[in-house]
Amino acid sequence: MPETRPSRDGGAFLAPAGANAPVGVFDSGIGGLSVLRHIRTLLPNEQLLYVADSGFAPYGEKSEAEVVARTLAIAEFLLAQGIKALVVACNTATAAAVVALRQRYPSLLVIGVEPGLKPAALLTVTKIVGVLATANTLASARFAALHGQIAEASGVRFLLQACNGLADQVEKGALRSAATATLVQRYVGPLVAQGADTLVLGCTHYPFVQELIEAAAARATDQPVSIIDTGDAVARQLSRLLTQQALQRQSDEAGAVTAFTTGSHTALESAFANLLKVRLQVISLATPPDSERAG
């Protein structure tokens, strides 16, 4: 689900951004493209800046301090480009760093993502929900609080599954490989076998292997299994906040996407072409944003 808070005075000074300013979106790699595609569908006129911090991926294997430093560094870079809002299209970064981000830039509209436990709790019939996420997301205090609150309120049993290596497979573009299918089966099969009738995709990389997830679930049960992807909800929350702040871009022209990466520009260009059917030239950040200075 989207996780947001409107800006307030204080903290680092930011020059006011107008409606024509771009929206910044970032992830540790290409996973955030699953959120970007929903934003482009719902808000086609918005100018979008996307940063893939692939040179420091995967975030799921980094310490919380490292993720916080990277998040602040990327935010500082995007603010230098004049953004009016920031979408943290990464569950791990949201869990670890969204509080620090808002403390640093309290006047910035920030939209984070977190696993969709609430809609899953409303949807499940068996009262058993599987949550697929990175180890860091599942170990975070933010997730623990969300999990505890919704489990207590709903009586739903959440089965938590850390999917080590799965985001890496998506980053490699191995969306349908035998190795990826084996990983997915290893993580999904036991959840469904324990009665989960709803699976939460708790990492923005995972929607790109949703077909494999659905196939793995079908092999484990002949009952229907629902999949929760929060990308659309994030886009709708961004739209609501931009409208609330009178910051939606008014134009007859479609907004452009500009992309940056701290990793391979050709890899990100291929991801845009293969996953979003968008062809563009990615700008390499030869000197990545300075995480030590931002921290």
SS3 sequence of 209-265: HHHHHHHHHHHHCCCCCEEECCHHHHHHHHHHHHHHCCCCCCCCCCCCEEEEECCCH
Residues 240, 99, single domain; the answer is yes
Instruction: State pTM to two decimals.
Output: 0.88
Domain boundary among 201, 228, 255: 228
Q: How would residue 295 be classed by pLDDT, with cut points 50, 70 and 90? A: very low
Marked catalytic residue, from 67, 88, 90, 247: 90
Lowest mean pLDDT among 192-196, 221-225, 249-253: 249-253
Q: Based on the fold, state whether residues 267 and 213 are members of the same structural domain.
A: no
- The answer to whether residues 198 and 246 belong to one domain is no
Residues 98 and 124 in one domain: no
Q: Which residue segment(s) compose the domain that 15 sits in? A: 2-113+231-294
pLDDT reported for residue 287: 55
Domain final residue pick, 196, 213, 228: 228
The pLDDT, as a whole number, for residue 58 is 84
Q: How many CA atoms lie within 13 A of 93 on its CB side?
A: 33
**Which pLDDT belongs to residue 289?**
57
Q: Where among 171, 199, 228 does a domain terminate?
A: 228
Amino acid at residue number 294:
A
Mean pLDDT, the chain, integer: 91
How would residue 12 be classed by pLDDT, with cut points 50, 70 and 90? low
Q: What total number of domains does the chain contain? A: 2
Are 8 and 88 in a shared domain? yes
- CATH number for the domain that contains residue 128: 3.40.50.1860
pLDDT computed for residue 7 by the predictor: 41
pLDDT reported for residue 40: 96
- When pLDDT is cut at 50, 70 and 90, the band that residue 211 belongs to is very high
The answer to whether residues 30 and 39 touch, using CB atoms and an 8 Å cutoff, is no
Q: Which of 146, 203, 238, 257 is catalytic?
A: 203
203 as an active site residue: the answer is yes
Rounded Cα distance between 172 and 219, Å, is 25
Mean pLDDT, residues 16-24 taken together: 88
Q: What pLDDT, in 10s, does the model give residues 67-118?
A: 999 999 999 999 999 999 999 999 999 999 999 999 999 999 999 998 999 9
For the sheet containing 109-113, what is the strand order? 2-5, 109-113, 85-88, 23-27, 48-52, 257-261, 283-284
Is residue 163 among the annotated active site residues?
Answer: no
